[in-house]
Amino acid sequence: MGAQGLGQACNFACQLALIALLGKEAFVSLGLGLMAANSVVFLGEIGLGTYFLRESATRDDWLPRWQMATGSRLAGVLLAFVLAWVAIAWAAPAPTTAHTVLLWGVPGLLASVVNPLPILFGLGHIRTASFALFSRFVLQSLLCLLIAAVFPLQSAMGIGLAFSAGLILQVIIGQWAGLPPATLRPRRPRSLPPPAAMRLWALSLVGTLHDRSLPFIVSTIRPDLLAVVLLGVQVLQTLSGILSQLDRLLIPATARTGAMPPAAFVPLLHKLLFLSGAIALAIMLTAIVWLPDHRAAVVIFACEWVFGVGEGAVFAFLFARSAERPVTHLMLVLVPLSTIVQVSLSGVLPLESMLALRLLVVTLVALQMRRSFRALTPSSAPA
């Protein structure tokens, strides 16, 4: 978590520096392009990144399964790239700039197909995986700032190249750590990915569309707030990324032992909720100073984020115990409905109403997670 925190701090500092160097208007298009590239990486996992946290921790025959998984991920990245390209063309204020960032990020997108972090964490190489994660963000940030400062007119290309360089570096570190070279060779999958991975992928797809739709909705309702919202989303994604490192430790450890009872997880969840609540409170207090006319919107958004952090931790525990299916099924219904309503009514309802709908969705999901969590017993074991 420390490596993720330092890396994300570098990333956030880079975002602020880009705003100072290039201005808010230029940052909006660059930020949308970078957000699209990160979304392609996230969606291109097809749930297999999280799935292999569990598989590589519990199975000795993970390598051929990994090679077929990377074949599936290659197809997933290509599909997600097309979707991101169309979304930018439809909704970005300056599509050409955002498209340039995405285009120069293609080498990184291809490298993400063989991203070694799930295997490294699953096999217990936590320090190496953390170093790779930290190195990615440092390299990306330094290259972004260097190109933006020296060649400001080529900032879109530079950000795309920096994005690619960071992901390629992770792959190099994985090989340096001793992973088999065969991990870099995708194989044609003999079948669809495992059902658990497919459910994770579907969940990633609808969740990403739900989250990434917010800046586009704001651009319709309050375009003057778009730069602030992009920065705010970046802050919360940064914090979520830090806290989500718990998944990479919790899932392999719980799956490997198969015996961690829910009671042992509860104190950890309470600490996580306390920490995220304190962060949300700081965000609310900051909004009183910087966005006095939008306090209600900030409060609702911060509450949604706190729920999301807690749900992410509980979902990781449920997944490690193979008990995530009821929650996944509910989310695959509620989240797409919420996204459709928000996009359809973005020019009709005020921003606060849209955010209240998002908060309602995470509340209903939290109730289902609570039921699934309480249904586990110390004697239950992962399938």
Q: Residue holding tokens 């956030």? A: 12
For 179-208, the pLDDT digits (tens) are 999 999 988 887 777 888 888 888 877 877
What integer pLDDT is reported at residue 379 of this predicted model?
47
Residue 69 · residue 54 · CB < 8 Å: no
| Alpha carbon distance 67, 190 (integer Å) | 11
| Predicted confidence (pLDDT) at residue 332 exceeds the cutoff of 70 | yes
The answer to whether the CB of 88 falls within 8 A of the CB of 33 is: yes
C-beta neighbour count of 353 within 10 angstroms: 14
Number of residues that this document lists for the chain: 383
Angle between helices 155-176 and 2-22 (to 10 degrees): 160
pTM to 2 decimal places: 0.69
Tokens 């509860």: give the residue: 266
Per-residue confidence band for 110, with pLDDT thresholds at 50, 70 and 90: very high
DSSP state of 60: S
Can you say how many angstroms the Cα of residue 146 is from the centroid of all Cα atoms in its chain?
Answer: 26
**Once rounded to an integer, what is the mean pLDDT over residues 285-304?**
77
How far, in Å, CA of 122 to CA of 56, rounded? Answer: 5
Cα distance between residue 341 and residue 335, in whole Å: 10
With beta carbons less than 8 A apart as the criterion, state whether 186 and 113 touch: yes
3-state helix, strand, coil in the chain (%, to 5): 85, 0, 15
Both tokens of residue 222? 């309050």
Mean pLDDT, rounded, for 46-58: 77
What pLDDT, on a 0 to 100 scale, did the predictor assign at position 189? 81
CA distances from 219 to 22, 213, 234 (A): 20, 10, 16
- Residue the block writes with tokens 């969606």: 43
Greatest mean pLDDT among 47-61, 142-156, 276-290 lies in 142-156
Biggest CA-to-CA distance, the chain: 61
First to last CA, the chain: 28
Residue 148 has pLDDT above 60, yes or no: yes
**CA-based radius of gyration for the chain:** 20
